[in-house]
Every structure is written in structure tokens, then in C-alpha cells.
Amino acid sequence: MGKPLTLGLIGAGVISGQYLETIARLDDLALVAVADLDPARAAAAADAHGATALTVPELLRREDIDAVLNLTVPAAHADTSRAAIDAGKAVYVEKPLAATAEQARGMLAAAAAAGVVLGCAPDTVLGTGVQTARAAVDGGAIGTPVGATVTMVTPGHERWHPAPDFYYRPGGGPLLDMGPYYLTTLVTLLGPVVSATGAASALRGERVIGSGPRAGQRIPVTTPTHVTGALVHASGALSTLLMSFDAMATHAAPIEVHGTDGSLAVPDPNGFSGDVRLDAGRGWEVLPVSAGYRRAARGYGLADLVWSGAFAGDPAAGRAGGALAFHVLEVMEAVLTAAAEGRSIPVTSTVTRPAPVPLDDR
């Protein structure tokens, strides 16, 4: 093993704990510093993981930091990432890549000009769940893929999240918040998307926080909270979406992929594992785990960039790259634009399906 990739974390909110657990157990990643708008929160995270609490400018000036792990809220993703890139740092950002495709396009251009790596979550697709499904599709288990369905239904994150405001602003909502997991999976399984249609609504103008110190406080809703869409893949496969913060529950599989010879039920793409079920005319059966990182957790997308050589002279290497995240963001934006304008919207970007992950015990 060579020198570990040294990291500065910006944004020590709820999700940071999962990333920090991963960094602590992977020898190829090393946390150096933590910054947050709340200095006490930064200090707590830094102290717990043997790092230094800094301000954002201080962190970006540190010469011993190779990459910034950007876990800020979506509205801050672009500005924080650009500041890191301008400081000569590689960036790995929590999904979505930015609040808008225009912002994300600028991030990609800046990273390319600076010659630094730009990666982005979600990395859940690197686990055994989606990768086993990918192996089944690529191995012909369902014949020629015809299409897929996505179903994500929840009454809303305000029930459990102590500060859910950003989920109900532009850049949030069920599509921008949860959609990256599902759409990154669709691209991994079926390839890029060329056009989208959609419809969307927001039936409630405010939400009530259900937990934490702000419990009972009402927050405004300024983005769609129930979104449906239809996607046309370059392969000719068709995918349909239902993404909702307005309904209670569903019996549907999170993702089903249908082909001429069979159908796959894919586990929750917000997780890294789970049963993949196949019906090829003999009833549903659970497939054995056959691909993916067995111990995958949040942060494996960053580790995969290291293992794949992105930091060894090939910035385009790795499976959780900025180009994939940009394509997914443009697809989601196309669905929302289609919903607002009542027409099909072309998706101008494209991307190569990420390389499959062989079964890996890391």
C-alpha cells in the first residue's frame, strides 16, 4: 500500500458519521481536518477521529490535504467544491453533484482545467446488491432489457431529520434527494438516458419537523414533493419513475428490471447489499451474491477512485466520477423541466456505464 489519500472534510452533519466510520477502517484514506459552520460540531468530529478542527479557508490552505470530502447541503455543493478545486484539491461530493446542472457543468470544467479528480456519491451502486443485479443483466439472465420501474415512497424526511429544511428547497425534494440512488442504478444497469418526460406536484405548502430541538416548527415547501417520469435510454429501454415525499408506503420493489426472458427485483439502492431476485419463468428465486464490494459503505466511491488509479495519473478512472453524477443530475433536471413545460426534454450529456465491480472482500 502506498501513501494514503489525505482528506479534509467540510460539513460535519448527520451523514458525516457514516463516512467517518468508513475512513477510519480503510488504510487508503486518512482524515486530516474537519470544518463546519458550527465550530463545536467540527471540533467534536475532529476530536473523535484524530483530526484537526479548522475553518473552511484554513482547511483549503493546508498543503497536506489531497482531497476535500464535501458533505455540505446541496445548495452549497457547487461553491464549496469550486473553492476546493481552485485551491488545487481533488473533490468528492455528496449527492447531488450540485443544485443545478449549470452549476455542475462549471464544476466539471473547473476540475478538468485544474487537472484534479472530481467524484460524487452515491456509491451504493458499488455494493453487492446492485452489482449482483448488474452481473445478472450482463450475463443475459433476463434476455434483452426492455425497461425498468422505480418506486420510492415515503411520507417525508421531516419525521426523523432534525434539520430537514434543505429537503424541501430547490435542489431537494424526492427526486433530487433520493433520485441519485435510483437513477445511478438505472444507468449502471441499462446505460445512459437520452430523453425524459414527467409530471410533478407539491400538495402541501409546509412541513412540520417531528424530532430534535426544532420539533413542531413549520418549514416552507418550495420544490415538488411528488414526481413521476419516463426515461428513454440510449439502448432503447424505457424506465418509469415514482418518487414521493407525499405518500405513506409501497409494496413495490424499489427497482424492477424487465427483459425478454425474465425480470429482476433489485434491492433498495440507498443500501449497499440485499437480495437480488430473478423470475425467468420458474418463479422468483434469490440469486447468490456474485459481484461488488462486500464491505461497501458510504465513502467507498472515494476509495474506489483511489483503487482504480484516479489519483495516480488517470483522473477519469473510478466508478463514482463527476461525469456520471452530472449525467444523472441532468436527467433529474430534465424530468422536472418536462413536468413544468409539458413536453419531452432531451438529455444532452451521455456517459459510459461504469465498469462492473468483481466480487471483492474489501
Flag whether 296 is in a domain: no
* Whether 133 and 254 share a structural domain: yes
Q: Which pLDDT does position 313 carry in this prediction? A: 84
Last-in-domain residue among 120, 140, 166 = 120
- Please give the Cα distance from 254 to 236 (Å, whole number): 21
Q: Which pLDDT does position 316 carry in this prediction? A: 79
- HEC-encoded secondary structure of 23-72: HHHCCCEEEEEEECCCHHHHHHHHHHCCCEECCHHHHHHCCCCCEEEECC
Flag whether 353 is in a domain: no
Q: What angle do CA 265, 196, 261 make, to 5 degrees?
A: 30
* Whether 113 and 130 share a structural domain: no
- Please give the Cα distance from 172 to 222 (Å, whole number): 9
What's the Cα-to-Cα distance from 36 to each of 13, 54, 316, 359, rounded to whole Å? 8, 8, 29, 36
* Whether 178 and 36 share a structural domain: no
What's the Cα-to-Cα distance from 158 to each of 9, 154, 242, rounded to whole Å? 25, 11, 20
* Whether 96 and 232 share a structural domain: no
Flag whether 320 is in a domain: no
* Whether 219 and 278 share a structural domain: yes
Name which of 174, 126, 117 is nearest 323 in CA terms.
117
* Whether 201 and 269 share a structural domain: yes
Q: What is the pLDDT along the chain (362 residues), one digit of tens a residue?
A: 579 999 999 999 989 999 999 999 999 999 999 999 999 999 999 999 999 999 999 999 999 999 999 999 988 999 999 999 999 999 999 999 999 999 999 999 999 999 999 999 999 999 999 999 999 999 999 999 999 999 999 999 999 999 999 899 987 899 999 999 999 999 999 999 999 999 999 999 999 999 999 999 999 999 999 999 999 999 999 999 999 999 999 999 999 999 999 999 999 999 999 999 999 999 999 999 999 999 999 999 999 999 999 998 888 789 999 999 999 999 999 999 999 999 999 999 999 999 999 999 99
* Whether 156 and 56 share a structural domain: no
Q: Which pLDDT does position 234 carry in this prediction? A: 98
Contacts of range 329-332, beta carbons closer than 8 Å, 24 or more positions apart: 329/96, 329/97, 329/98, 329/100, 329/101, 329/104, 329/180, 330/101, 330/104, 331/183, 331/193, 331/196, 331/231, 332/96, 332/175, 332/176, 332/179, 332/180, 332/183
- Please give the Cα distance from 173 to 165 (Å, whole number): 10
- The tally of domains found in the chain comes to 2
* Whether 143 and 172 share a structural domain: yes
* Whether 152 and 75 share a structural domain: no
Q: Which pLDDT does position 357 carry in this prediction? A: 98
Flag whether 319 is in a domain: no
* Whether 97 and 208 share a structural domain: no
Flag whether 359 is in a domain: no
List Cβ neighbours of 240 (8 Å cut-off, separation of 6 or more): 147, 148, 149, 150, 228, 229, 230, 231
- Please give the Cα distance from 286 to 283 (Å, whole number): 10
Would you give the DSSP letter of residue 156?
Answer: -
* Whether 191 and 217 share a structural domain: yes
Q: What angle do CA 241, 243, 245 make, to 5 degrees?
A: 170
* Whether 192 and 61 share a structural domain: no
Residue range(s) defining the domain that contains residue 191: 126-291+327-346
Domain CATH code at residue 41: 3.40.50.720
Q: Which pLDDT does position 1 carry in this prediction? A: 52
Domain CATH code at residue 187: 3.30.360.10
Last-in-domain residue among 120, 148, 174 = 120
Flag whether 174 is in a domain: yes
Flag whether 318 is in a domain: no
